């Protein structure tokens, strides 16, 4: 299974159904995404995650979002998940995911939460909701975090604002409603995926 993220953009497929997994995930991978998150408040999420792992686990980091408890981490490990994304900072969830060798992206809003996540073993954190805090907050937070800790912007990031977060010190982002909305056609997913990949490549071309 793939346990790396070459392009640090996580596709958040909230609300996707099992019958839609094949079409949307395949297009995302074709356009350059290699990290896929299916939130646990999506319908029939176990089936969707199992399908995604079986079909795409060798080509992308397949994981789950809105993970709130240790029992869910245990079940996700059984399904073959390699990525755990949370909306909050729960040290027990982080430790369990780390114990399984998963990539864990815990949601943090403050320096206190960020350091709690790092102490629990997180190597990356998810600043959520990023649109509320903005790039200046990223700069302030990054100034006190260990240099090796990667920050992902999640929540309200668009192709137009992605470069602002990257320039502020984020390594990447989690992309939700501006990439995928429940029920949208695969063609729309492809267009949005291309817009985000192009924005990322342009923002990082001179680095």
Give the sheet arrangement for strand 61-65, strand by strand: 103-105, 83-85, 61-65, 35-39, 9-12, 172-175, 150-154, 124-127, 107-108
> pTM to 2 decimals?
0.96
Active site residue 37: yes
DSSP 4: -
At residue 206, the pLDDT reads 72
Q: Is the pLDDT of residue 1 over 50?
A: no
Active-site entry in 126, 142, 188, 194: 126
Grade residue 5 by pLDDT with cuts at 50, 70 and 90.
confident
d(CA 113, CA 190): 35
At residue 7, the pLDDT reads 94
Q: Is the pLDDT of residue 122 over 60?
A: yes
Q: Is the pLDDT of residue 56 over 60?
A: yes
Active-site entry in 37, 54, 113, 142: 37
Active site residue 181: no
Grade residue 67 by pLDDT with cuts at 50, 70 and 90.
very high
Q: What is the mean pLDDT of the chain?
A: 96
């Amino acid at each position: 299974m793939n346990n790396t993220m070459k392009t640090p953009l996580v596709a958040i497929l909230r609300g996707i159904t099992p019958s839609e997994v094949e079409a949307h995930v395949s297009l995302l991978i074709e356009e350059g995404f290699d990290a896929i998150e299916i939130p646990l408040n999506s319908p029939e999420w176990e089936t969707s995650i199992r399908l995604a792992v079986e079909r795409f686990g060798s080509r992308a980091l397949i994981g789950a979002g809105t993970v709130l408890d240790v029992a869910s981490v245990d079940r996700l490990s059984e399904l073959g998940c390699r990525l755990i994304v949370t909306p909050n900072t729960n040290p027990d969830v982080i430790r369990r995911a780390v114990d399984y060798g998963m990539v864990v992206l815990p949601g943090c809003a403050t320096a206190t939460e960020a350091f709690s996540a790092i102490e629990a073993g997180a190597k990356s954190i998810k600043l959520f909701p990023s649109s509320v805090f903005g790039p200046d907050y990223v700069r302030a937070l990054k100034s006190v975090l260990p240099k090796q800790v990667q920050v992902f912007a999640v929540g309200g990031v668009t192709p137009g604002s992605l470069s602002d977060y990257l320039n502020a010190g984020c390594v990447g982002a989690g992309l939700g409603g501006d990439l995928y909305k429940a029920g949208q056609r695969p063609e729309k997913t492809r267009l949005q995926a291309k817009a985000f990949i192009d924005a990322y490549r342009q923002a990082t071309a001179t680095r």
